[in-house]
Structure 1
Amino acid sequence: MTGQSSAAEGTTSPPTPDGVPFLGNGLAFSRNPVGAIEEWASLGDIVRLEIPGRTMYLVTGPGPIEQILVADHETFTISPAQRETFRGIEDHAVTTTTGERWERLRRALRPAFTRDAIQRYADRIVETTTTYVDEWEDGERIDLYREMRFLSVNVLADAMLDVDIRGREEVVMDAADALVDRANLRRPGQLLPDWIPTPTDRRFERTVTELDAYVDELISERRTTGLGDDVCSVLLDAHDAGDISLDEVRHNVVAMLLAGHDSPSVALTHAVRLLDGHPDVRAALVDESHDVVASDRPTGESSAALERTRNVVSETLRLYPPTLGVTRQATEAVTLDGHELPAGAQVLCPQWPVHRDERFWDDPTAFVPSRWQQPSDRPEYAYFPFSGGPRNCVGAPFARQELTLVLATMLDTVELDVSVDGPLTFTPSLQLRPEPDIDATVTRR
């Protein structure tokens, strides 16, 4: 469909794809959000969608995305959908707050994510990975995604929170699963009023209660053992200084545990799967690890020299971004790419179609890590796996280092022969988790 002239001179209404009565574009979105978004993106860089209960604008042009996230970021706030998704679990976290509170929380977290701090986490990332992978037996068949989740939550807890989470991982993972299930676009009861309890809601409340209790234990333990320079200590220091509340400490630790293990585990699963399908790239990474770190383990210093491994991380995040997209809401009327959006307009900036747009990427669906070796003139926001602008993911530098070091450590220790049980599809929720079983057979080097 073509855009119609609007009341504002020089602007047009974005195209709207055909939908179905009462459900509009919501039915296609819930059935296959990735496929629907790809199809709708072909209509233009800004597309108007009719979803039950609201209008949403799909934004897939790097220019408008940069305008939303960077240039005009003060004109946009986090969306009601984002607040609703994390309601009851991260209400006081940096992920869901705005204004003065968000600035205060971001400032409190900053010391844990400086360049020096990220470097300090490196040895613990490698040590935890080595300990975990050493438990895999030669010839063992593992559930790859599940193992990457266990590994990621252990790496995060040890490196960034300075706690041993072994034996308690499922408290975090169960809450993450309940959160993803509650946001699942296909779940029964998705359109029911909030006051009608569903099994999904009850499970969510139970797992959040258990996670909150565990985080309270964790915070108490950090008090007992003494504060250091980890994230939990940095937050507690800010609390002791009167800068943040104890609820804000708790909810930001919760947010770190949930997002900090979920996104890396998805990325690691895809990276291992892609490398299994490209043995030449995998061999090059093994050689690089041997050349860079010799007989020693990778470190923060050596990770900078693991160029091919870092390229694989970048390419994996391009092809398989961990989330469905970045959501925002306009606080006032705004013009994007010649289209006028009203105040209150909700926008979705999905990484998937932008990262695979042939206008910006040669052979866009192919796994080509070498594309990252040369500078490119593509727009900056043709690639934004961790969002962008002032509200970018505060943990992005840690996640990139984690993915690089975990991959290098694993590849130096084992070879994983991967099999996927059926076509690769994704959970239609906030995290683009793989739906089919992904197994791997371990061969120790």
Structure 2
Amino acid sequence: MTAQRMAADTTASPPTPDGVPLFGNGLAFARNPVDAMERWATLGDIVRLDIPGQEMYLVTGPALIEQILVDDHESFTISPAQRETFSGVEDHAVTTTTGERWERLRRALHPAFTRDAMGRYADRTVETTAACIEAWDDGEQIDLYEEMRRLTVTVLADALLDVDIRGREAVVMAAADALVDRANFRRPGQLLPDWVPTPTDRRFERTVTELDAFVDDIITERRGTDRGKDLCSVLLDAHDAGDLSLAEVRENVVAMLLAGHDSPSVALTHVWRVLDEHPDHRAMLTEEAQTVVGNEQPASELLPGLEHTRHVVAETLRLYPPTLGVMRQATEPVTLGGYDLPAGAQFLLPQWPVHRDDRFWDDPTTFDPTRWERATNRPEYAYFPFSGGPRNCVGMHFAKQELALVVATILATVELAVSVDGPLTFTPSLQLRPEPAIEAIVTRR
């Protein structure tokens, strides 16, 4: 990102990119959101987008991102777009609620993510990953992204919910697909009024109904067993104590199954792809994995020895963040970057252009895991793959741990030769899923 940015002028509104009649900047965003955000970010740290019917701003300055997510977070709430996207599936979940309910849910979830809990999850993560990849045959060609999805939803259910869903993953994956399709900026139904039913809407309702029934069965099963300290047990204990309704228990389990497998599976797919492009780092990670994973330590003690693996994961999340960005709405008039903006204004905080901004990153488009070994004075919010502030991703530490342990466990056992069918492009939705087919040949060690 080399174009010089415009300084804020308190007497004017933020710069606005050129658009097209009727659609403004919406058409470019729908065609290629990654390319559009990179171009628009060169205009300034805050840019006004011409989106019909919305007061929308793109924010790519780390100081402004920190102001929205941390310093002045009480002046912002989750955006209407986020609530609409998850309407009917996560209405009572920590991901979409605000105020007292959000605070109550966040407190209820906390015991599921303590240091002790993370240690237990580590053991289950390694065990489940090893069991899942045992099904891969030597020489088999796999759909890499679909296998990573199946793996992450199985790991999450086993570790966080203490439930084995192998053979039943399709229910969760179908609902996640319908959710992403519903939020796809390119689908024709986006231009229709909410009351007009579309095939995408009907598919969404059907898969969510199936997922709700699936999760109800899980909850019924867990209510009749001894409780542990996993997330499902923690939520059920909170329900028994009168702190959560059964709907809140169900929808937070649903939220964890959907978001908790989708983003990690995208990240893992990119890890294997970039390692295939950088055999030197793949060799280093393989040696590290075989040394650390093979020494019979408890899984909870493996992470310190997986230093390069953790750096590869961090660098992959920098270059290829799984989500489009964080969205917020101002609840009162705010001043950002010298601009006075109204209550109701919406803000998109995208990781992609910020993570690749040459003001904060040397050779920003180069895959260089060693950059995480060096001290730096870059702003904290030049990197925020898990959002930030009080509403950061509740499963952030679990996800970081999971990604490193899954990569190491797989590398200790198999080698994956990756192929991508065409240029790397992304679904224009809440998840930046890779669009081309990504496959891998499995070679067992």
Q: Is the 8 A contact 1:298 1:409 kept in 2?
A: no
- Does structure 1 retain, via aligned residues, the 8 Å contact 2:311–2:372? yes
- Partners of 2:213 and 2:369 in 1: how far apart? 42
Equivalents in 2 of 1:293, 1:418: separation in Å?
A: 23
Kindly provide the CA deviation profile for residues 75-106 of structure 1, in whole angstroms up to 9, marking residues without a partner as x.
00000001001000000000000000000000
Corresponding letter in the other structure for 1:110: H
For residues 85-164 of structure 1, the aligned pairs below 5 Å read 85-164=85-164
The answer as to whether partners of 1:3 and 1:15 remain within 8 angstroms in 2 is no
Show the 5 A alignment for 1:354-369: 354-369=354-369
Preserved contact between residue 264 and residue 399 of structure 2 (Cα < 8 Å): yes
Does 2:250 match 1:276?
Answer: no
- Distance in 2 (CA, whole Å) between partners of 1:221 and 1:273 is 38
Deviation at 1:55, TM superposition (A): 2.1
1:418 corresponds in structure 2 to 418
Residue aligned with 1:190, SS: helix
Q: 1:11 to 1:306 in 2, by over 3 A?
A: farther
Where structure 1 has 5 or more consecutive residues not aligned to the other structure, the ranges are none
Given the alignment of the two structures, is residue 348 of structure 1 paired with residue 348 of structure 2, yes or no?
A: yes
What's the counterpart of residue 57 of structure 1? 57
Structure 2 equivalent of residue 378 of structure 1: 378
Aligned position for 2:287 = 287
Partner residue, 1:181: 181
Query: How far did residue 276 of structure 1 move?
Result: 0.8
* Counterpart-to-counterpart distance in 1, 2:411 and 2:290: 10
Query: 3-state SS of the aligned residue for 2:209?
Result: helix
- Residues 216-258 of structure 1: CA distance to partner in whole angstroms, max 9, x if unpaired? 0000000112221111110000011111111100000000000
Which residue of structure 1 lines up, in the alignment, with residue 434 of structure 2? 434
1:13 matched residue in structure 2: 13
Are residues 1:241 and 2:277 paired?
no
Per the alignment, in what secondary structure is the counterpart of residue 304 of structure 1?
Answer: helix
Offset at 1:44? 0.5
Q: What displacement does 1:137 show?
A: 0.7
Q: How large is the Cα RMSD of the aligned pairs?
A: 1.3
For 1:227, the equivalent position in structure 2 comes to 227
Describe the superposition over 1:7-47 as per-residue Cα deviations: whole angstroms up to 9, x where unpaired: xxx45310001111111110101111111000000100000
Q: Would the aligned equivalents of 2:293 and 2:412 in 1 still touch at CA under 8 Å? A: no
Aligned to 2:303: 303
- Tell me the distance in 2 between the aligned counterparts of 1:294 and 1:422: 36
Secondary structure in 2 aligned to 1:13? coil
Structure 1 contact 417–442 (Cα < 8 Å) conserved: yes
* 8 Å Cα contact 1:12/1:338 also seen in 2: no
Deviation (angstroms), 1:305: 2.0
Q: Which runs of 4+ in 1 moved over 6 A?
A: 1-4
Q: Which residue of 2 is the match for residue 390 of structure 1?
A: 390
Out of 118-127 and 388-397, give the one that drifted further. Answer: 118-127
Q: CA deviation at 1:297?
A: 6.4
Corresponding residue for residue 331 of structure 2: 331
Q: Residue type matched to 1:58 in 2?
A: L
The alpha-carbon deviation at position 295 of structure 1 amounts to 3.7
- SS for the counterpart of 2:348 is strand
The 3 A distance-change label for structure 1 pair 298 and 23 is farther
1:189 counterpart SS class: helix
Contact 1:3 1:12 in 2 (8 A): no
> 1:294: Cα distance to partner?
3.8
Give distance in 2, aligned partners of 1:192 and 1:289: 51
Distance 1:22 1:60 in 2: 26
In structure 2, what is the Cα distance between the partners aligned to 1:124 and 1:435? 31
Farther off after superposition, 302-311 or 382-391:
302-311
Q: What TM-score, normalized to structure 1?
A: 0.97
Aligned mates of 1:394, 1:4 — CA distance in 2:
34
1:318 aligns with 2:322: no
How is 1:166-177 mapped onto 2 (pairs within 5 angstroms)?
Answer: 166-177=166-177
Measured after TM superposition, the shift of residue 296 of structure 1 is 2.5
Q: Deviations over 1:373-425 (max 9, x none)?
A: 12211000000000000000000000000000000000000000000000000
